[in-house]
């Protein structure tokens, strides 16, 4: 069992020297399970650190899988209802004509909203992230400080982030663990840089209750699994 960062570095170098390692479990969670077994870390789904003060995360370098960084409804109050009524569309999932709004937006291109004729994109300044259409800037936004608080409430520990090459699939998948980083601290500036590059997406998930009222399913800020470590203000390569 490892307890310190030095312990991890020593053991990880040994794992790297092993070369390709067959997964200990098929499926998406195989990489994490395999790494934990090799480091003799018990599997758990708790918020507490995996060893010492550190949480262990791992990813496949070539993975296109998306992760939700945080969920946060926009401001001001009733912004979701405003968006749903202005930009939404009817859905066969409901037995009425009330609108819903499900769309994945980015800061690089405008995204067409179903068959409404509307298009939206994400924009930003020093203090907030907001939405705009082709014709106007909407008063719908996420303040910098609120995003910071939300991120820090979800990511409470320092993270040791491991990247691996992979080959084959299923029960025959193999990993080559060769990079490890220490990452911590939310950086709004880094967040905006990734948004500007089109690496962060905003998922609008605004539905309705049976009576037609707005049902907020949680607006999600998402990123590719392999890019997650780029979010942090402190990023130091360990191995």
CATH superfamily of 68-149+189-225: MvaI/BcnI restriction endonuclease, recognition domain (3.30.70.3570)
Taking the C-alpha atoms of residue 97 and residue 77, their distance in angstroms, rounded to an integer, is 24
What pLDDT was estimated at residue 45?
A: 67
pLDDT at 46 over 70: no
Question: What are 228-238's pLDDT values in tens digits?
Answer: 889 998 999 99
Q: Report pLDDT for 8.
A: 97
Identify the residue whose tokens are 């930003």.
Answer: 124
CATH T-level assignment (fold) for domain 5-62+156-185+228-237: PvuII Endonuclease; Chain A (3.40.210)
Where in the chain does DSSP place strands (E)? Answer: 21-22, 54-60, 66-71, 89-90, 99-105, 111-112, 119-124, 128-133, 137-143, 158-167, 174-186, 200-208, 214-216, 220-224, 232-237
* pLDDT of 1 higher than 90: no
CB 66 within 8 A of CB 201: yes
The residue that leads in pLDDT, 14 or 188, is: 14
Asked if the model's pLDDT at residue 47 lies above 70, the reply is no
Check residue 143 and give its pLDDT: 96
Q: What is the pLDDT of residues 136-163, one digit of tens each?
A: 999 999 999 999 999 888 888 899 999 9
| Per-residue model confidence as pLDDT tens digits over 89-133 | 988 777 677 889 999 999 999 999 999 999 999 999 999 999 999
pLDDT, mean of residues 61-81: 92
The predicted pLDDT at position 18 comes to 97
> By percentage, how much of the chain surpasses pLDDT 90?
73
What rounded mean pLDDT belongs to the chain? 92
22 within 8 A of 125, measured Cβ to Cβ: no
47 vs 112: which has the higher pLDDT: 112
pLDDT in tens, 75-84: 999 999 999 9
- Rounded alpha-carbon distances, angstroms, from residue 236 to 38, 180, 195, 201: 22, 9, 22, 25
Beta bridge partners of 180: 162
pLDDT for res 78: 95
Nearest alpha carbon to residue 162 among 220, 80, 237: 237
Locate the domains of the chain by residue range.
5-62+156-185+228-237, 68-149+189-225
């Amino acid at each position: 069992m490892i307890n310190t960062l030095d312990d991890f570095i020593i053991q990880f170098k040994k794992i790297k020297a092993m070369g390709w390692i067959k997964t200990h479990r098929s499926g998406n969670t195989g990489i994490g399970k395999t790494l934990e077994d090799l480091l003799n870390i018990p599997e758990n789904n708790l918020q507490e650190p995996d060893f010492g003060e550190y949480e262990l995360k791992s990813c496949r370098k070539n993975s296109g899988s998306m992760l939700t960084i945080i969920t946060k409804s926009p401001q001001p109050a009733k912004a979701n209802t405003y968006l749903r009524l202005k930009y939404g569309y009817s859905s066969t999932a409901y037995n009425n004509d009330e609108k819903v709004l499900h769309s994945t937006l980015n800061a690089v291109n405008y995204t067409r909203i179903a068959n409404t004729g509307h298009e939206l994109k994400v924009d930003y300044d020093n203090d907030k992230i907001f939405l705009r259409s082709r014709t106007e800037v909407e008063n719908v936004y996420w303040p910098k400080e609120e995003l910071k608080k939300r991120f820090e409430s979800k990511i409470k520990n320092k993270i040791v982030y491991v990247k691996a090459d992979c080959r084959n699939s299923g029960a025959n998948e193999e990993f080559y663990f060769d990079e490890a980083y220490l990452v911590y601290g939310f950086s709004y500036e880094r967040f905006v840089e990734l948004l500007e590059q089109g690496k962060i997406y905003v998922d609008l998930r605004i539905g309705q209750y049976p009576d037609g009222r707005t049902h907020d399913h949680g607006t999600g800020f998402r990123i590719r699994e392999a890019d997650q470590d780029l979010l942090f203000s402190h990023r130091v390569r360990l191995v």
